[in-house]
Amino acid sequence: CQRFEESHTASIIQHRFDNICKGYDIAAKLNYIITDNAANMKKALQANFPSDDNMNTEPLDDDPTEAGN
């Protein structure tokens, strides 16, 4: 278990989720994920779990940890 101390933006959540899936080699085994209805969670996981009712072509919000790089 790791602390999530960064801002909870969609791009950071997506990055952390992807790293966890790669670290445990489970990405191909996941079909669904359940979250709360928060906009950042919905947006972060759309790329991994698209559906017809939530298809959105908006880019993820800017990652504040990469500002100034």
pLDDT tens for 36-56 read: 889 999 999 987 777 655 545
Q: Is the confidence at residue 14, as pLDDT, over 60? A: yes
CA 28 from chain center: how many Å?
16
User: What is the pLDDT, as a whole number, of residue 69?
Assistant: 47
User: What is the pLDDT, as a whole number, of residue 61?
Assistant: 62
Contact 18, 31 (CB under 8 A): no
Contact 2, 17 (CB under 8 A): no
Mean pLDDT of the chain: 80
User: What is the pLDDT, as a whole number, of residue 65?
Assistant: 53
Whole-number Å distance between alpha carbons of 52 and 30: 18
Average pLDDT over residues 21-44: 91
Q: What residue type is 20 in one-letter code?
A: I
| pTM recorded for the entire structure | 0.67
